[in-house]
Amino acid sequence: MSPAALFRPLGALWVLVALIALLAAVCAPAVEEWHLAPFFITTAGLAFVPGALVLAATRGVQVGASALDALGLALLAWVTTPAFAALPFWLTGYFGPMDALFEAYSALTTTGATLLPADELPRSLIFWRAVLAWLGGYATLLLAIAVFAALDRDVPAIRKSALLTVRPDNILSHLPVAARRVGLVYAVLTAVTWLMLLFAGNGFFDASVLAMSAISTSGYAPVDGGLATNFGTISMLIVALACLAGTVNIALFWDALRDRGVLRDPDLAGIAALVGGLGVLYVIADTSHIPSHFIDAFFVVSTSGYTVSAPASPVPVAAVFVALVGGAAASTTGGVKISRILLLWRRMGSELAVLTDPSSLVPVTFRGRSVRDTALIGIWAYVLGFLACLGIGTLALALAGLDFQTAFLANAAALANAGPLLHETNAGHGWDELADNAKPILISAMILGRLEVLAAVAAIWALFIRK
């Protein structure tokens, strides 16, 4: 792919950031924060000018890319776009340069890690956090359908769907159509959530922030604390349903219009098993508020990190490892993804069957398709790479001055894009207590979690090493 073709989608993304900055500038007076509107207008200008220049310079250029080229494009997008998105956090004076970058990367990767609680921020910046997370969730879905679907074409981890059809020789060929379809589904789910929250008695602002944050599984809220405590049980259940929509494969909503059999998708059974298992552990640790424990368990699986009422997790270690698994492929959740774990589980069953009867041949099947051994090796490599990043990141944070427990939990939360989990599992100690030298490490973990570990390595190779 030529450099011009590489930068044209980046230019479009920067223009999109400019447009949502203008939206935030319009919203600032609506929440009686007129003095903050110029900062969003400045951000819009600084993002629009280079984006528009790139689009003008590459006008008429045919954009085509292999999966490797698109990975390089995705890496550039995740690295450069938050620099523009960080400007309102910095210009308003609430964050220093490094903290502003941390907030922007956290929002766009839907990690939801926050350095200042919502109670200490103007509502314009709370809205900016939420809309960035919503955009990041949409970008994550596009990345899944354009790049990971091509990389996993021999692995049935991402369900085959008209929504997720790509050409291996040019994976961007189907992207405009898929982007419109995914955008339609994503916007409709957000709008339905917003309307339900309004009917539940929430104000326009609170409903907007919760709807965008829930569908993107980022875990942001207009105020700190449990959902049921601040917004009521009905609103909490609506947010949980929206998080469920963000946790499952986006293709399920498109395919459900024609095939009711999608409800038997193995990802749904895997999500239910994780929620049930973690919920039972919560109940064993604390027998009070049993229904709340299962809802809290679901929020962990969705990597959103919301809580019903209490901020502390009854079984912190279990919560961390469940969050590292995450939700379905082609969803807004972080983590390894449950379909990969299910594939490895079936591989283990196949190996045990062969051990009991060495003469038998037990192929691994998933979603009605046979899985090649090379594909399973790739999944093993990904899981091992993920664990290596977990260990190396923890070591790097420990060398940066964090105690081992905080280093492990912070790195796991960043890698799984489940930022609120740190407050729930680290005895109330959170991101605001971290030193500046730890934040670049955590930002790298957030990007690795979004790009997926091996894909990130391939993206670096595509940009800087390949001849």
pLDDT tens, residue order, the chain (467 aa): 455 556 777 888 899 999 999 999 999 998 899 999 999 999 999 999 999 998 888 776 665 666 666 777 777 888 889 999 999 999 999 999 999 999 999 999 999 999 998 989 999 999 999 999 999 999 888 877 766 655 555 544 444 555 555 555 556 666 677 778 888 889 999 999 999 999 999 999 999 999 999 999 999 999 988 899 999 999 999 999 999 999 988 877 777 666 666 667 788 888 999 999 999 999 998 888 888 999 999 999 999 989 998 766 777 888 888 999 988 878 899 888 888 888 888 777 777 776 776 766 667 776 666 767 666 777 777 788 888 889 999 999 999 989 898 999 999 999 999 988 888 777 767 898 888 999 999 999 999 888 776 555 555 554 555 54
Task: Tell me the C-alpha distance between 384 and 380, whole Å.
Answer: 6
Q: What is the pLDDT of residue 215?
A: 96
Q: What is the pLDDT of residue 13?
A: 87
Q: What is the pLDDT of residue 356?
A: 74
Q: What is the pLDDT of residue 156?
A: 47
Task: Tell me the C-alpha distance between 377 and 283, whole Å.
Answer: 37
Distinct helix (H) and strand (E) counts, the chain: 21, 2
Measured in degrees and rounded to the nearest 5, phi and psi for residue 212 equal: -65, -40
Q: What is the pLDDT of residue 467?
A: 43
Task: Tell me the C-alpha distance between 433 and 400, whole Å.
Answer: 13
Q: Angle 108-110-111 (CA atoms, 0-180°, nearest 5)?
A: 110
Residues 6+ apart with CB under 8 A from 91: 39, 42, 43
Residues 6+ apart with CB under 8 A from 76: 6, 10, 463
Question: Are 124 and 33 within 8 A, CB to CB?
Answer: yes
Q: What is the pLDDT of residue 339?
A: 82
Question: Are 379 and 372 within 8 A, CB to CB?
Answer: no
Which residue type occupies 75?
L
130 alpha carbon, distance to own chain's centre: 13
Q: Say what the pTM is.
A: 0.89
Q: What is the pLDDT of residue 157?
A: 45
Grouping H, G, I as helix, E, B as strand and the rest as coil, residue 167 is strand
Q: What is the pLDDT of residue 361?
A: 67
